[in-house]
């Protein structure tokens, strides 16, 4: 399958999916999110795969949602039904990766921000570079956390650390991210893909059907309520995006000044 800015390599029971939008930050535009989701779905019917590694560029995983996406500008005057459909691009992308039967591993170099973090946590495992940084600035932009992220964050880090990560917008770098449980392994900068492939090779050496059975059983036991807990986050996202605090959060970011939130 050919997708712009995305390549898929296959080595035995392992696939490597690389995405590079060519903008230096791998910003997640609506179309780019649809393409990353399509890459996952293109592997969904491959019964031979045991592990899939997802990675960005050697310098950055993703800078998060593209605030300058022309498609977003076109949606400003759209009706609610169109807005709700468009807002599902991120959740659908993440769900496509979460629903894959092979074990998935995100190899993260450099910054991983906002929607990039949510995409990485849609994978089963994460490898982060020593100087790589995970950061969700949504609250600083006047938004909620959506895309089904909060149950996954809490499942990995626990409620207290998740509140610090989300509400206090703490940046988690290298070993701290591993200590908190957000990532599984920390590798030398530039070596995250190599480490992720080492993990993938261990998985690929196991009996493939049993690998899939065990993953499905673990997911059923630990994530059964996730969907019911996040059913409202899409509409919360739409609500916050029409708030005065969202406008202030975005404007202050673009103008490089501290925001002044009012609760409006």
Cα–Cα distance between 200 and 17 in angstroms, integer?
13
> What pLDDT, on a 0 to 100 scale, did the predictor assign at position 170?
97
Domains and CATH numbers, the chain: 6-189 (3.90.226.10)
Residue 222 and residue 234 in contact, taking contact as beta carbons nearer than 8 Å: no
> What pLDDT, on a 0 to 100 scale, did the predictor assign at position 1?
63
Cα–Cα distance between 247 and 170 in angstroms, integer?
22
Cα–Cα distance between 138 and 151 in angstroms, integer?
16
Look at residue 19 and give its three-state secondary structure: strand
> What pLDDT, on a 0 to 100 scale, did the predictor assign at position 77?
75
* 3-state DSSP percent of the chain in helix, strand and coil, to 5: 50, 15, 35
Residue 247 burial (CB count, 10 A) = 14
> What pLDDT, on a 0 to 100 scale, did the predictor assign at position 88?
87
Give CA torsion, residues 106, 107, 112, 116, to 10 deg.
-30
> What pLDDT, on a 0 to 100 scale, did the predictor assign at position 173?
96
**pLDDT by 10s per residue, the chain, length 264:** 678 899 999 999 999 999 999 999 999 999 999 999 999 999 998 999 999 999 999 999 999 998 788 887 777 777 888 888 888 899 999 999 999 999 999 999 999 999 999 999 999 999 999 999 999 999 999 999 999 999 999 999 999 999 999 999 999 999 999 999 999 999 999 999 999 999 999 999 999 999 999 999 999 998 877 877 788 888 898 889 889 999 999 899 889 999 999 998
- Residues of 194-226 as b/e, b for ≥16 C-beta within 10 angstroms? ebbbebbeebbeeebeebbeebeeeeeeeeeeb
Residue 22 and residue 59 in contact, taking contact as beta carbons nearer than 8 Å: no
H-only helix segments in 87-207: 89-98, 115-121, 149-157, 159-166, 174-180, 192-204
Name the pTM for this structure.
Answer: 0.93
Q: List all residues 6 or more positions away from 228 whose beta carbon is below 8 Å from its beta carbon.
A: none
């Amino acid at each position: 399958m050919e997708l712009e800015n995305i390549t898929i390599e296959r080595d035995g029971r392992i696939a490597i999916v690389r995405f590079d939008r060519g903008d230096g930050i791998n910003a997640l535009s609506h179309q780019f999110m649809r393409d990353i989701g399509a890459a996952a779905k293109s592997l969904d019917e491959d019964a031979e795969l045991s592990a899939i590694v997802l990675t960005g560029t050697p310098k950055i995983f993703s800078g998060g949602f593209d605030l300058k996406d022309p498609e977003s500008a076109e949606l400003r005057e759209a009706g609610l039904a169109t807005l709700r459909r468009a807002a599902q691009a991120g959740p659908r992308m993440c769900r496509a990766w979460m629903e894959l039967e092979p074990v998935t591993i995100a190899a993260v170099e450099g910054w991983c921000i906002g929607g990039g973090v949510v995409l990485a946590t849609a994978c089963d495992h994460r490898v982060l570079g020593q100087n790589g940084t995970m950061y969700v600035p949504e609250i600083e932009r006047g938004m909620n956390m959506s895309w089904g992220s909060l149950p996954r964050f809490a499942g990995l880090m626990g409620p207290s650390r998740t509140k610090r990560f989300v509400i206090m917008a703490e940046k988690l770098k290298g070993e701290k991210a591993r200590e908190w449980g957000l990532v599984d392994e920390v590798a030398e900068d530039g070596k995250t893909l190599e480490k992720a492939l080492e993990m993938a090779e261990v998985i690929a050496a196991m009996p493939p059907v049993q690998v899939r059975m065990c993953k499905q059983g673990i997911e059923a036991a630990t994530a059964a309520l996730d969907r019911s807990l996040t059913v409202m986050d899409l509409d919360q996202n739409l609500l916050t995006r029409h708030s005065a605090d969202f406008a202030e959060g975005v404007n202050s970011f673009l103008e490089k000044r501290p925001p002044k939130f009012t609760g409006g």
